[in-house]
Structure 1
Amino acid sequence: MKYIVIIGDGMADYPVPQLGNKTPLQKANKPNMDFLAKHGEIGMVRTIPEGISPGSDTANLSVMGYDPRKYYTGRSPLEAVSMGIELSDTDVALRCNLVTLSEEENYEDRTMIDYSSDEITSEEARELIDDINRHLKTDSMTFFPGVSYRHCLVWKNGPVGLNLTPPHDILTKKIAAYLPSGEENKVLLDMMKKSSEFMKEHPVNKSRVARGLKPANSIWLWGEGRKPAIPLFYDKYRLRGSVISAVDLIKGIGLCAGLKSVDIPGATGNINTNFKGKAEAALKELENGQDFVYVHIEAPDECGHRYEIENKVRSIELIDELVIGTILKGLDKFDEYSILVLPDHPTPLSLRTHTSDPVPYILYRKGEEKTSDVLGYDESEASGSGFFIEEGYTLMDRFIG
């Protein structure tokens, strides 16, 4: 049996007035998802446990079969693992976003314009992170470059429980109420303020402004945590597997679980990504002997954060056509396979951030096709199916079991 999981990050949503009060999943043309829903099991699953922050970190841990209440230690250390950063047991890793703030004189008066600095390129970002290290690196704190706007700060013997705010949660809002506060956070706030003093004048940003792009004019620190200890996926399920994602967070979860991480040329983490390349790589992994592949596509989540209504619909259609369609054709050569399709969490366009609402899932097995009166794959059809999984981390047991 071959197993493949396809995550459309943030696909689930609420009805959108501009879409005729349909959700993006209801609006999208997605014949492959609809086919799987009509002939498989469709239901709802709560991927975010009560009282846990609704992030892609906690949600994907849950989908991969790990209870976030037991194994979650913070977002950034998972990303650090993917970036090849060695963490000691007392190191604290923090996510460092390159953000665009408005330009009021007082830092506290500024507004969060863009958590991604117009999705700055990795090459430009590396130049900025090098300069940030020159200005801000200390004996205990070092910055490491990642992909696009997503980077890492490692704080030797640093504290946890800092109550820091993700920048994508405060788009268009004044930052004053969300800045790091308290004595332990003073060093982080000072770094953020100092970064804004020299980043604005950096040649990378002057070039971006001249080209009509948003500058990366401040760092934003959040998502702290210590090195995780996740049981190996093989020890849990006796399956050898791979993870395919453009995002360090998902790669890091996979690597911590002992999965092979596969890099895809042209994979970006947004709607301009190599959808088909991810599908073809997943098939190749299965053909080369892997039992399990976890394919993660970030695009719907990014569209939700950015309030790009049509792009969110289009990203779902591209996942259906280029990812699921390609995978279904390629799986014909296998006698037995199972497919699991779901969002990790909702990213409602109206809120521009994640929520803890349950999400719709499809579980389809070749050779066990069903006939039902399900019309297709969306939140409403899944809610009416009668299947509901309260503990999201048990969905993987159901899928593989």
Structure 2
Amino acid sequence: MKYILLIGDGMGDVPVPLLGDKTPMEAAATPAMDRLAKEGELLLVQTVPDGYPPGSDVANLSLLGYEPEKYYTGRAPLEAASMGVEIEADELAFRCNLVNVEWLGDRVTMIDYSAGHISTEESRQLIEAVQEACGTEVLRLYPGISYRHLVVYKGAIPSALQTVPPHDHMDQDVTAYYNLYKHDAALFKLMEQAAEVLANHPVNAQRAKEGKKTANSLWLWGEGKRPAMETIPARYKVNGGMISAVDLLMGLGVLSGLEVVKVEGATGYLDTNYKGKAEAALQVLAEKDFVVVHVEAPDETGHQGLAAEKVQAIEDFDHQIVAPIIKGVEASEEPFRVVVTMDHYTPVYRRTHEDWPVPMLMYDSRGLENPSGRPYTEKEVLAAVEQNGLKLASGAAFFSRFMERVVDNG
């Protein structure tokens, strides 16, 4: 038996006027997902527990069957695991975005949480320059992918320093959040000095010359210590692989005992190497029991408030991930179970995440007595759940069902 978990990050949405009051999922042509939904079952899953931030860290941890209440310590430690960065007991890891901000006097506005989706090659040069100029025994910077990087800090931070994700505050005044870093002298000094290094770096000079957004500031958030997690092979007696372009998911793969498969050209955006991801997934399934394929593009376009681009991201996910993987596994004639889902909603009108229960489809190649007969959209899943009662209260309950364990639907 093969198990396939396909995650379109942030696909869920609400009706968008620019799309004729359809959601991006309703506006998108998704024949592969619709076929699976009609022949499978539709369910709702609460991936974000009450009181937890509706981020991809909490939600994807939940989708892999881990209760955030037990295992969540912050986003950055998951990304550190992906990067092979060890976090000592007296250290914290911070997610470090390269961002573009605008200063007007002492006011600061978050213009772009990704510095114009800066390339990995460019961002590596910038982070290495900041490390050389600002790194100490207390603070170390590690380059990651695109705008996503890491800071490891030896010590504890004051409770008054409450960090926030920059993608939640696009085109908003973030002065109050920026000033909170002043509660920790070392972190604030890093942010101030880093801005000077970035302002004078040739990479940013070239980006400005080309009319691109510069990476003119760091933004630290998602801090935490390394979590202790029992692996999926130990818990469910299956081995598997993780395919994603982002450090967060790759870190979850490391900590959950999955083989992390890196695909050349995987970017986490619309230009990602979909074909390479699909081929890698089929290779994993040829050797192992379980594969996770994560696609970031729907979430990124949601954060940018781009409705048409989000439709494109969902269609690409359907045509270039779901369809070829299902075609390949069907050709193997081995029984399989596939789930297509999002981790959370990222509505384009809000440009941030929501903690609503997520609609998902579950298809079993062995067939169902009462398939849904419905396509895969938010509205259709809600209607199906009103009839079938398949609303699961946690990701752990979902994952047990996915792995064919008997669980209580409540």
Instruction: Tell me the equivalent position of 1:311.
Output: 309
**2:147 corresponds to which of 129, 146, 149:** 149
Answer whether contact 2:158 2:184 (CA < 8 A) is retained. no
Letter of the structure 2 residue corresponding to residue 261 of structure 1: V
Q: Does 1:331 pair with 2:329?
A: yes
Secondary structure of the residue aligned to 1:385 is: helix
Distance 1:88 1:98, change over 3 A: same
Letter of the structure 2 residue corresponding to residue 29 of structure 1: A
Distance 1:224 1:180, change over 3 A: farther
Unaligned 5+ runs, structure 2: 405-410
CA deviation string 1:124-145 (max 9, x = no partner): 1111111111222122111011
Instruction: Tell me the equivalent position of 2:408.
Output: none
Instruction: Tell me the equivalent position of 1:168.
Output: 167
Give the distance between the partners of 2:372 and 2:62, measured in 1 at CA. Answer: 29
Answer whether contact 1:38 1:376 (CA < 8 A) is retained. yes
Answer whether contact 2:96 2:151 (CA < 8 A) is retained. yes
C-alpha RMSD of matched pairs (Å):
1.4
Letter of the structure 1 residue corresponding to residue 99 of structure 2: V
Letter of the structure 2 residue corresponding to residue 392 of structure 1: G
Give the distance between the partners of 1:59 and 1:334, measured in 2 at CA. Answer: 32
- Alpha-carbon deviation of 1:190? 2.9
Secondary structure of the residue aligned to 2:144 is: strand
Letter of the structure 1 residue corresponding to residue 132 of structure 2: R
Letter of the structure 2 residue corresponding to residue 204 of structure 1: V
Answer whether contact 1:41 1:364 (CA < 8 A) is retained. yes
Give the distance between the partners of 1:305 and 1:370, measured in 2 at CA. Answer: 39
Letter of the structure 1 residue corresponding to residue 4 of structure 2: I
- Alpha-carbon deviation of 1:91? 1.3
Give the distance between the partners of 2:199 and 2:384, measured in 1 at CA. Answer: 53
- Alpha-carbon deviation of 1:191? 2.0
Instruction: Tell me the equivalent position of 1:35.
Output: 35
Number of aligned pairs? 398
Give the distance between the partners of 2:203 and 2:334, measured in 1 at CA. Answer: 53
Secondary structure of the residue aligned to 1:345 is: coil
Secondary structure of the residue aligned to 1:100 is: strand
Give the distance between the partners of 1:147 and 1:182, measured in 2 at CA. Answer: 24
The percent identity for this pair of structures is: 44
When structure 1 is superposed on structure 2, of 369-378 and 209-218 the one drifting more is 369-378
Instruction: Tell me the equivalent position of 1:258.
Output: 257
What does 1:5-16 correspond to in 2, within 5 Å? 5-16=5-16
- Alpha-carbon deviation of 1:104? 2.7
Give TM-score, length-normalised by structure 2: 0.94
- Alpha-carbon deviation of 1:196? 1.8
Secondary structure of the residue aligned to 1:110 is: strand
Secondary structure of the residue aligned to 1:111 is: strand
- Alpha-carbon deviation of 1:393? 2.1
Answer whether contact 2:181 2:187 (CA < 8 A) is retained. no
Answer whether contact 2:94 2:220 (CA < 8 A) is retained. yes
Answer whether contact 2:42 2:372 (CA < 8 A) is retained. no
Give the distance between the partners of 1:245 and 1:213, measured in 2 at CA. Answer: 26
Give the distance between the partners of 1:291 and 1:13, measured in 2 at CA. Answer: 32
Letter of the structure 2 residue corresponding to residue 377 of structure 1: Y
Instruction: Tell me the equivalent position of 1:389.
Output: 392
Answer whether contact 1:2 1:336 (CA < 8 A) is retained. yes
Unaligned 5+ runs, structure 1: none
Letter of the structure 2 residue corresponding to residue 305 of structure 1: H
Q: Does 1:26 pair with 2:26?
A: yes
Letter of the structure 2 residue corresponding to residue 391 of structure 1: S
